[in-house]
Chains A and B, each alone.
Chain A
Amino acid sequence: MTSPLEQKKIKITGPSVVTANRTWDGIVIYRTARQDWSAKLSDAAIVRTSDEARALLAESVADDVGAVGAYIAPVEIKESGKIKPGNLREHIRLQGVTIDLPVPA
């Protein structure tokens, strides 16, 4: 994970979202275009330029009560328009662990 501070210097190279963990329970959340958070990646605001990414991140970090550790994460946009995580880490954050849990949910 790259810290928000370091990400200020980063230029995104493709579609991206801002993701974080919800403060009260820690679940994975995504910043929406409505200046809110959602647990669904499909609700995430997509940014395509570094300026957009920086602005979305700044807005997200400002919500210190609602979310922890906001950062920019790459996504893929499928032809169908469906948003997919851009790397394994984000895939695991979205889908959950890749193993069977000792106690089924």
Chain B
Amino acid sequence: MYAYDELDRTLINERVEEFRDQVKRRLSGELTEDEFKMLRLQNGVYLQLHAYMFRIAIPYGTLSSEQLRRLAHVARRYDRGYGHFTTRQNIQFNWIKLAELPDALGDLAEVGIHAMQTSGNNTRNVTSDQWAGVAPGEIEDPRIWSELIRQYTTLHPEFSFLPRKFKFAITASPHDRAAIKIHDIGLRLHRNAEGETGFEVLVGGGLGRTPFIGKTIKPFVHGRDLLSYVEAILRVYNQYGRRDNIYKARIKILVHELGIDKFAKEVEDEWQEMRDSDTALTLDDAMIEDIRSRFTYPAYEKLPHTPEELKKAAHDPLFERWRKNSVSTHKVQGYAIVTLSLKPVGGPPGDATADQMDALADLADKYSFGEIRVGHEQNLALPHVAKRDLPALWNALDKIGLATPNVNLVSDIIACPGLDYCSLANARSIPIAQELTRRFANHETADLIGRLHINISGCINACGHHHVGHIGILGVEKNGEEFYQITIGGRADENAELGALIGPAVPYGEVADVVEDIVEAYLALRARPDELFVDTVKRLGVEPFRERVYATR
């Protein structure tokens, strides 16, 4: 966990009082909606189809049990008893009243939660690997750098009035769980040939109307230079980025239009000039250490690799299925990382009730040193579970509906809220996801299929990251009806790729059938049982799948 200092607490508390005054003035008519809109967006407040939506940041996906309980309280007191975890380590409440929002924000501020950087044309919540600090093979905890960027960019004018929203993601592991290649700036912590720690810097990734995979503009930036280099990128973006056309305002368009080499040179020139004139941006070891020291880590016990409790529970096939699916290797012997699926059969992806949040907070206290993580796949994790406690934890999770053993399988679907909630959507996402989870509810079938990511977006803005789904589903509107374009072969990891369209859009009622056809084609076409869906598509291309889907349509 990161411990906020007095400055952080003052900032968050002052923001609550500012917003309280802004809401009061809006409701009295002193502020028009045009004047108020930017103010509410700076506090994560959107207007959706049925109500205001309140988006709250969970920086780098780390939550304490106390914070999770407070989210449950907000869900219960101000909303309808549940929250929705998003694809960017945020949580959203969908039914909140503007008049009550300052109180909700105030309740959250008491435990160090805020809604800054969750909307508007500024730096958004800096995301990271949900296994940060516990993943084996990690270079170092990427949250130190995420927090550094969060602090530096919060309220910084260079980062607060950008042409468009701006998203950072940071990973420090060989396997990218933070989807850095689909972010405006992706940072990969690694070591150079001299053994020094630094960042590969990728720029211009993003999905939406014009999707791009991020490109490397500098293979190695030393940690001490991270802020100055990032600021150089933002200065170039602020100088050249388009503000006249919302569809061309993201940095990915600028990178594409300038070309990666020209963009990289502009950044390099800016950076060299800055480095000479603004040494304040060079981080010294004390600054980095100050941030590092505010992250606290559990006092792990010395535990056996395979405790007796685990050997005994291994005889239970249901436990074993869950363990194989949801339990991952921890950097400390005797401990495990437990992923909690928020994708129950027939449930809306990413939703958790207040009761589940409260119960999970208790379990985190009992089994995970009071810490919970949030991943961009819309699942949660307990990062520090002693292996001896796994059987007891599994039983407890099962009782609250958080032990569905489908992590990374076909029913672990990422989906945006879609037309059921969102004012931008053209088509529904959640009912499609629900139907697919029912179709693939059988665990044996899901195991046979293996790793397969389905991503669903209800419009081209791509909050469900459909472009990088192994199977991507995009809702569109045709003559007042919901249709869905299907792509295959996308992926969001270190080998990120955009999926390819398989053919004409299909109507709402046929989407689940089409996905079943694609999966059946894969099972028939794969070279070996362990060839993943996405690898089969890579090997064979789209055509065999297209033939299978459209032969009878």
Contacts and interface: CB of A to CB of B under 8 A. Distances in A.
Q: Could you say which interface size class chain A belongs to?
A: 20 to 34
Interface residues of B, number: 35
A92 interface: yes
B356 to A, nearest CB: 9
Given A92-B49, A99-B348, 13 more contacts: A21-B52, A23-B26, A24-B98, A25-B52, A25-B97, A26-B98, A65-B28, A88-B482, A89-B49, A92-B419, A97-B421, A101-B82, A102-B82
Interface string B343-370: 0000110011110000000000000000
A96 B51 contact: no
Contact of B49 (A25, A93, A99, A101): A93
Interface string B72-97: 00000000111000000000000011
B529 interface: no
Interface stretch (B209-217, B311-319, B427-435): B427-435
Interface of A: 1, 21, 23-28, 64-65, 68-69, 87-89, 92-93, 96-99, 101-103, 105
A68 B33 contact: yes
A39 to B, nearest CB: 11
A93 to B, nearest CB: 5
B526 to A, nearest CB: 33
B80 A103 contact: yes
A99 B431 CA distance: 7
9 contacts: A23-B26, A25-B99, A26-B52, A26-B98, A93-B49, A93-B50, A99-B348, A102-B353, A105-B80
Contact of B47 (A69, A87, A92, A105): A69
A23 B101 CA distance: 12
A92 B482 CA distance: 13
A24 B33 CA distance: 12
B191 to A, nearest CB: 44
Contacts of B81: 102-103
Contacts of A97: 50, 420-421, 430
Which residue, of A25, A28, A69, A97, has the highest number of chain B Cβ atoms within 10 A? A97
A101 B97 CA distance: 18
Contact of B431 (A68, A98, A101, A102): A98
B51 A103 contact: no
Contacts of B259: none
Contact of B32 (A64, A88, A101): A64
A102 to B, nearest CB: 4
A8 B49 CA distance: 22
Which residue, of A69, A92, A102, has the highest number of chain B Cβ atoms within 10 A? A102
Contacts of A102: 81-82, 347-348, 351-353
Contact of A101 (B80, B354, B419, B434): B80
Contacts of B482: 88
A89 B348 CA distance: 19
Given A65-B29, A88-B480, A99-B348, A26 B50 contact: yes
B517 to A, nearest CB: 25
A26 B82 contact: no
Interface string B411-440: 000000001110100001011001000000
Contact of B480 (A21, A25, A28, A87): A87
B27 interface: yes
B420 A99 contact: yes
Contacts of B98: 23-26
